Structure 1
Amino acid sequence: MARGRVSLQERVRRRTRAGLVARSAERELFRRNFGTSPDDERHRFLFHVHGTAGVGKTRLVKEFEHLAREQGALTAYVDETSGSVPEVLEAVCRQFALQGHRLKDLERTLATHRERRHEAETAALAALDPAPDGAPSAGGMALARAGLAGLGLVPGVAPFTAVLDPEQLAHGADRLRTVLAARFRSHEDVRLVLDPASVLTPVLADELDAVASDVPWLVLLLDTYERTGPFLDAWLHDLLTTDRYGVLPDTVVVVTAGQHPADPARWGTFADFMTSLPLQPFTEAEARGLLAERGVTAEPVVAEALRLTGGLPVLLSTIAGTRPGGPEYISDPSATAVERFLKWEQDSGHRAAALAGALPRLLDVDVLAVAADCDAQRADELYSWVATLPFVDRLGGRIRYHDIVRAPMLRLQRGRSPRAWTDGHTRLAQAFRRWREETESGRDTATLWLDETWCELRLGELYHRLCADDPAAVSDSLWGLVEACDQGEALAARWIRVLEDAGRDVFMPEVSTWGDRLSTALASGGTQAVLDTLLEWAGGAHSSEPWQRGADRASRPRRRASSPRRRRASADTVSVRDAAADPSPSQAARHVTPVTATIPPPLLARIHRDRALAHAARHDRMAAVAELGRALALTPDDPRTLGLRGEFLRAVGLLTEAAADLERATALDPADAYAWASLGATRLALRHPEGARTALDRALALKPDYGWALVRRARVARELGDPEGRLSALDRAVAADPGSAWAHCERGDALHAADRDQEALDAYDRALALDPGYASAYASRGVAHHRLGHLDQALADLDRALELNPSYAWARERRDAVVRDLDG
């Protein structure tokens, strides 16, 4: 054949690629779009494929990618394995590079983003309050998690665990930004941590514009959009419809595919530039075409296949793959499609491997070796075969069974041998735990949340424990969910999905409903709504009775005993099925979902504590005090909660109550530097400077570089008439925390009090460089200028202080003095 010619056979292969003998209208519409100029009104920049599971969305999207590449397009395919905008952009970079086009600037910026996130985490850990063994305390860990989640700028994150002073709280997120600004080299680095999409996306736009001169089209395909849309949809809308991130070349085409139609509230105005492609099950003609392409043409067999599959492509492919000899060999695929497929597989090892491979949500060689209970060499052979099955989707180097086929396969195993089911999931849970512990070896716990591998292993372990009916699995999953909420919405969504998946796969409707409601809460109100929902289900913020009722029921005989583990359930948690079977009248009256009996008091207390920190972040300290009171009703001897409540009571001026909490906290945990420091500040406010000095000295003995305690120690020295001790403490404070505008301002005040006004000006300048909105620093610098005779500078500084805080009485008095001197 002449060079460049395409054979007839190749044309046929292309048209029937991946069994896509149907969807001809959708494929032709997409292909024709490349023949339409972007300035033609018929050209579309966005295609949204949507339809139920099993209808063939992923295969059509993959076909779109092939069609685009045939037109010379540079393509990138992204699914739910990318959990954030930076991860999506990393996937784009990898795939473009494989096609010969490096996005070097974007790759460098992504590398910087990863480095800056690590530095932010390091900065958070450096500010932690260490326990006696050197490990971060519970409050410090929460601060580190907040650092990983954008330092509290993700909705629902509780970032202010270690913030003690009301002046610090007043600065809120701005204070955290200034700390980062002092640490990082540029404002751009700060934004890379706090708002990575705003920095990375303009680089993407510039890169795409440069690449557009080398290729005719750029195609981005976003699959499983029902899972990625919650964090991608707003970003994608801004990218395509606004100039927020710069401009894109008009040769960009985007494909999204998910179970739901596009949000009309967001995409309604873009309707003239996009095409919605709702997928329905195959028509009879399309279904017959698929079966015929696979060699199934006998009319009785075809008729039975059409009747049983309802035209769903994945089920049609499964039946066609068995090459049934007659209709009697076809059973309802919604119940036993895989069993029928395995019946025609003569190799018993293959049949067992296919069944075992359904137990995990994702499969690779290592996981299959555990699921099939075989050695590595055999697992490699079996994996190669399993990967060829028609209901398997490839995800990078791993595979996943289609849900419509996996579900009946799981039902088959669970019903045929409950003991084998439990043993298989237990074996997998133990393997995931072993791999997770290997990942954790020698690493700080707070850093693990950045590690995608660790998160995936922990989720896998929890999923298989839930499926094995491990009696502590639900409570452990909820602990993980609350911790994931500290990381932001993306990780919280993954933890919730474990509950949804396990509830569905093990047929635990209560757990599945729980997962659905938590998912709805996350979508509507972020992670704070998730915590609120957990508390609502636990009987509201004022009662822990559901837990007690559940604990009482835990000792009763089980109603079901499908596995020994059910009979061994401990009294520390409660089977969700038992709770659902025996709701009390008070539960029904409050509409409390019975599964909340699995929430133990320490976890409820932790949720109240996180809510308290969220209230503090919004400067509502009385609400924070109330939440901490509810936490203490559940865990009355928790020193960390007592310390937090004592600090918030101090901040709102309830000093006697604060001192009582803090003295009890230090008695329970004498190594808590946080509580000792807050107790010192409280005693100082109560005008007991000697007692304050004792408490602050204890805090500094535990943590010598405790910047906040050092500033408070300086204030005690001032009250005791010790100017040298005051300056010494403040010198140590700015050395320990050079990014603290507050410490520099306090040091300026001490220098001013020592008649060292020129040095005081330097300290105030440093404070204002760190925090340009610091009214107190402007006022103090104005007073120093006044004493040095710099009247114009003094007036400008005091005017700025009053502009920032019009009710600042001391600054107004100082300004009046300056005006009198100017008039005189």
Structure 2
Amino acid sequence: MAQPGPSLQELIRQRSRAGFVGRSAERAAFRANFTTAPHDERHRFRFHAHGNAGVGKTFLLRELEQTAREQGALTAYVDDSAGSVPEVLAEISRQFAARGTRLKELDRLLAAHRERRHEAELAALAVLDTGPEETGPSTGGRMAARAGVVAAGMVPVVGPLAGMLDAEQLAGAADRLRASLIARFRNHDDLRLVLTPEQVLTPVLLRELSDTDAPWIALFLDTYERTGQYLDPWLHETMTTDRHGAMPATTVVVSAGRAPLDPARWGGLADFVADFPLAPFTEPEARGLLAAKGVTAEPVVEEVLRLTGGLPVLVSTLAESRPTDPDDVGDPSATAVDRFLKWEDDPVHRSAALACALPRWLDEDVFRAAVDCPAEQQEPLYTWLRGMPFVSERGGGRLRYHDVVRAPMLRAERRRSPRGWAQRHRHLAGTFRQWREEAGRGLADPWADDTWRDLRQAESYHLLCAGEREALHKALGDFVPACGAGEVMAVRWARVLVDAGQDADLPAVAAWGTDLTTALHTEGVAAALGLLLRRAVLDAPTQARARLVRGDELRGEGAYPQALAEYDQAVALDPDLALAYRHRSGIRGDLGDHDGAIADLDRAVALDPDNAWYRALRGEHHRIAGRDAEAIRDLTEAVRLDPASAFARASRGATYERAGDLDAALADLERALGLDPDYAWALARRARVWRAQGDSRRQLDDLSRALEQNPDWPWARCERGDALRAAGRDEEAVADLDIALALDPAYTSAYASRGESLARLGRHAEALADLNRAVEMRPGYVWALCRRAVLHTAMGHPEEARADMARVRELDPGALERFADVSVLP
């Protein structure tokens, strides 16, 4: 596709870089890399610039990006405005699209990821009855936990706490969450989009990159000291292994951060990585930059060199103002920014530069709110400001000041007029509050909306900087729903406290932000909320919600006693918080206490009688507990409240099937599948109706469709194995049962079923081993004892057969009538 013409932002950047001076060695090496074929051993696939703040990393990265574009490269620039790998991929896709290259499949999957991630937060709280009813975690769950699946984020609610829990707790969490997600999501890829989004998104990214017709692809990753925590392992795996597919050899990745690359990860790849350690400008480089801007008077040059220490951002800032007289300089301890402001002749420019330092980020709307000037001056003034060397464009078109420049500006303004400082921050807080209220109209849950959350963060930052009496209390209270929105949002909220504390010289606020950030990074959301609850003075409703979110985190990690204690405290703190009863019902169900779960849902329904989801969950608990009449009552009411609830329809259909009302079961399950054609749990339950009606073809069709959606579902594998065995297709049955047992080695009935099919195939020794295992795992397993008695007879073991039959008569005399081939045994 044809590249569109340059945007206004690009024209400004082009003019800004026209006088770029310095870093000649780095620029030359990067440019030469495009003239070296990827298969040439001199070619580098990864560049990393590193150095202290103000040393010019972002300037260099932007210069290298422009160099790459001149070589025909398709480029994207990402900084810490993206907080996860999916967010980085979304930003790359957005920028590629702006340059005429659409990554359509990646965009589709990113949209699905955002939707499914939200659903996962609900699914993790609703444990469904999708597998064999056995107590304790399966061996498969234990193996997954020991392999680090949960710690790596497979439990989407609270992966970081995994290290604090033992393998047994993690195993239980993995089993229950896997079952709940399988029952909720449409297909296997939806499940993977929640649990391991990088594994789904990265192969698509690489395929679509390979399909582009650009001669080069260049990705630029700034502020790597922050983004590297999640980007570096992903990037290393993507670039050095085939796990996600082939990355085009014409791809170049450039990153910039304060520290060198991790030698443990990249040290063995020196032949493929170019390291750019950046120091302050040398005197010749600084003089060259000043000369390029027309600053040549020796006394002025010497003063600039003395003040800046060669830091490129400050040299560029001072050069842009083109000072001519060092006699302007007063206090020799004043900062370089003070010099810039004194050398700026236009008082309107000077005032705007100071006013726009106050917000953490700028767009044209924020600029108009921050700067007091006539309307006709606003557009040219904004254009001037965004062209300044210390202003850079970040994600979403927002502008930010460089920290090295912004920090002294803020100090100067705060000290010059403390009351004026507070007043301007209050004005900005009010502006962001008005925008937030407008954005929140009609939203059922504003904390799920990115725009609303951004505006809320900005409002809180300015209230904190203004020194408002209740600002810290409100910000700490908001940390609770921020945690409920996910760890990325919790980290961003803690960062608001850090920034406000540093920018406004509020040590207590900064300490809160630092401590919460440390807790989030080292132990996770539950630990951060624990810190908040121990140290902050919160009202009872806020404490209750904090306990609720903390309970969800602990439950997701399998720490059930601790989670239950949190829910108990939430209910005690706020007896009218329906959600607390709803969540406590889930963990009681996890622990097998369905009466307790139903009691909690009774209270939740009483508080919110029109909530269809609460009704449906209570009906599901009644179904699991075998109370069919109560289940039908609740599920029918849930359907009335929400006729589009596939969950309620499917659960009621499963209840009718067990009660023997096959027509009603079929009607409900078909309605559920009409609402969600790929609902695997409903397909598997309808298969049981077909089995009861003797329709083996439809039974197998539904089970096969269910497995297309969820290939790793042990229960559906076993169900299909049983159906194949009943149809006389024992070899195929064994294949399915093999997979079921590989997925869950503690699946008792799968051993019994496979043993029977193996016996019919004449593989008696293997059959006996399987049946023995089933009986060992469940000594009262009548059907397995019957099948083993038949097998013992066939193998010429009459004594063993008689012993099994005696045990069957003791356990269930009626079994002899149900199984014709058993009734003829001695």
Q: Give me the TM-score of the superposition, normalised by structure 1.
A: 0.73
- 8 Å CA contact 1:15–1:21 kept in 2: the answer is no
Q: Which amino acid aligns with 2:413?
A: Q
| Alpha-carbon separation, structure 1, partners of 2:105 and 2:520 | 30
Asked if 2 retains the 8 angstrom alpha-carbon contact of 1:689 and 1:716, the reply is yes
- Where does residue 351 of structure 1 map in the other structure? 350
> Match of 1:422?
422
SS of 1:430's equivalent in the other structure is helix
SS at match of 2:549: helix
Q: Does structure 1 residue 652 correspond to structure 2 residue 607?
A: no
The equivalent of 1:254 in structure 2 is: 253
Structure 1 residue 49: Cα displacement: 0.9
Displacement after TM superposition at 1:16 (Å) = 11
**Separation (CA, whole Å) in 1 of partners of 2:36 and 2:604:** 72
C-alpha deviation, 1:403, in angstroms: 1.6
Contact 1:47 1:256 (C-alpha < 8 Å) held by counterparts: yes
Describe the superposition over 1:329-388 as per-residue Cα deviations: whole angstroms up to 9, x where unpaired: 235798554444333444433332222111112223221111124454332132133234
The answer for the alignment partner of 2:8 in structure 1 is none
SS of the residue aligned with 2:271? Answer: helix
User: d(CA) in 1 for partners of 2:578 and 2:327?
Assistant: 69
Q: Retained in 2: the 8 A contact 1:224–1:258?
A: yes
Number of aligned residue pairs: give it. Answer: 715
Which position in structure 2 is the counterpart of 1:78?
78
The residue number in structure 2 matching 1:606 is: 545
After TM superposition, the structure 1 = structure 2 runs for residues 179-578 of structure 1, keeping only pairs within 5 Å, are 179-182=184-187, 195=196, 197-206=198-207, 215=215, 217-324=216-323, 326-330=325-329, 336-374=335-373, 376-395=375-394, 397-442=397-442, 445=445, 449=449, 451=450, 453-478=451-476, 480-525=478-523, 529-539=524-534, 546=535
Task: Supply the distance in 2 between the matched residues of 1:663 and 1:344 (Cα, whole angstroms).
Answer: 72
C-alpha distance after superposition, 1:124-173 (max 9, x if no partner): 799999xxxxxxxxxxxxxxxxxxx9996475499xxxxxxx99984524
Asked if 1:642 corresponds to 2:581, the answer is yes
Q: Compared with structure 1, are the counterparts of its residues 467 and 784 closer, same or farther at alpha carbon in structure 2 (3 Å cutoff)?
A: same
The one-letter code of the counterpart of 1:497 is R
Q: Which residue does the alignment assign to 1:557?
A: none
Unpaired segments of 5 or more residues in structure 1? 1-13, 130-148, 159-165, 540-545, 547-595
Would the aligned equivalents of 1:764 and 1:777 in 2 still touch at CA under 8 Å? yes
Residue type at the aligned position of 1:632: V
1-structure distance, mates of 2:519, 2:730? 57
Q: How far apart are the structure 1 equivalents of 2:518 and 2:122? A: 36
1:679-718 to 2 correspondence within 5 Å?
679=618, 698-704=637-643, 706=645
Contact kept, 8 Å, 1:221 with 1:256, in 2: the verdict is yes
**Contact 1:467–1:502 (8 Å) recurs in 2:** yes
Q: Secondary structure of the residue that 1:400 maps to in structure 2?
A: strand
SS in 1 for 2:270: helix
CA distance in 2, matches of 1:704, 1:667: 21
> Contact conserved, 1:364 with 1:383, CA < 8 A, in 2?
no
Matched-pair contact (CA < 8 Å) for 2:447–2:482:
no
The answer for the alignment partner of 2:58 in structure 1 is 58
Structure 2 residue aligned with 1:586? none
3-state SS in 1 of match to 2:592: coil
> CA 1:474 to 1:271, structure 2 compared with 1: closer, same or farther past 3 Å?
farther
Closer/same/farther in 2, CA of residues 771 and 331 from structure 1, 3 Å limit = same
CA distance in 1, matches of 2:605, 2:16: 73
Identical-pair percentage = 46
Distance 1:750 1:81 in 2: 52
Query: Equivalent of 2:783, from 775, 789, 814?
Result: 814
Q: Distance in 2 between matches of 1:398 and 1:801?
A: 51
Aligned to 1:134: none
CA offset digits 1:52-104 (Å, max 9, x no partner)? 211111222233334445556554433344555455456556666777xx545
Post-superposition shift, 1:34?
4.7
CA–CA distance in structure 2, aligned partners of residues 478 and 98 of structure 1:
38
**253-262 vs 412-421, greater mean Cα deviation:** 412-421
Determine whether 1:172 maps to 2:177.
yes
Question: Partners in 1 of 2:117 and 2:36 — Cα distance?
Answer: 49
Shift of 1:51: 1.3
Cα gap change, 1:347 to 1:36, in 2 (>3 Å):
closer
- Alignment CA distance shift 1:332-1:629 (3 Å): farther
* Amino acid in the other structure paired with 1:628: Y
Q: 1:300 to 1:755 in 2, by over 3 A?
A: closer
Change (3 A) 1:375 1:194: farther
The 1-side partners of 2:379 and 2:687 are apart by 69
Deviation at 1:269, TM superposition (A): 1.6
Amino acid at match of 2:233: A
Deviation of the 1:219 alpha carbon:
3.5
Higher RCO (CA-CA < 8 Å; seq separation 6+):
2
- The code of the aligned residue for 2:364 comes to V
Render the CA deviation track for 1:564-608: whole Å, top value 9, x for unaligned: xxxxxxxxxxxxxxxxxxxxxxxxxxxxxxxx33x4443443343
Alpha-carbon distance in 2 for matches of 1:74, 1:796: 48
Letter in 1 for 2:464: L
Contact 1:76 1:221 in 2 (8 A): yes
Tell me the C-alpha RMSD between the 2 structures: 4.6
2:613 & 2:443 partners in 1: Cα distance? Answer: 25
Q: Which structure 2 residues correspond to residues 144-159 of structure 1 after superposition, within 5 A?
A: 153=156, 156=159
CA distance in 2, matches of 1:686, 1:769: 30
For 2:211 and 2:708, how far apart are their aligned partners in 1? 38
Q: Is 1:309–1:316's contact at 8 Å kept on the other side of the alignment?
A: yes
Q: What is the identity, as a one-letter code, of the residue corresponding to 1:352?
A: S
Contact 2:447–2:481 (8 Å) recurs in 1? no
SS of residue matched to 1:272 = coil
Q: Deviations over 1:683-732 (max 9, x none)?
A: 67778766666555555554455555556656776898867666665565
Could you tell me which residue of structure 2 aligns to residue 585 of structure 1?
none
- The correspondence for 1:113, drawn from 98, 109, 116, is 109
Residues 764 and 168 of structure 1: is their aligned pair in 2 closer, same or farther, counting only changes over 3 Å?
Answer: farther
- In 2, distance between residues paired with 1:796 and 1:275? 51
Change (3 A) 1:423 1:781: same
CA distance in 2, matches of 1:737, 1:95: 34
Change (3 A) 1:507 1:109: same
- 1:626-775 to structure 2, matched below 5 A, reads 626-655=565-594, 657-677=596-616, 679=618, 698-704=637-643, 706=645, 738-749=677-688, 764=703, 766-775=705-714
Alpha-carbon distance in structure 2 between the residues aligned to 1:681 and 1:177: 16
Query: C-alpha displacement at 1:628, in angstroms?
Result: 1.5
1:193-230 superposed Cα distances (whole Å, 9 cap, x missing partner):
76554455445545555667x64x54333222223323
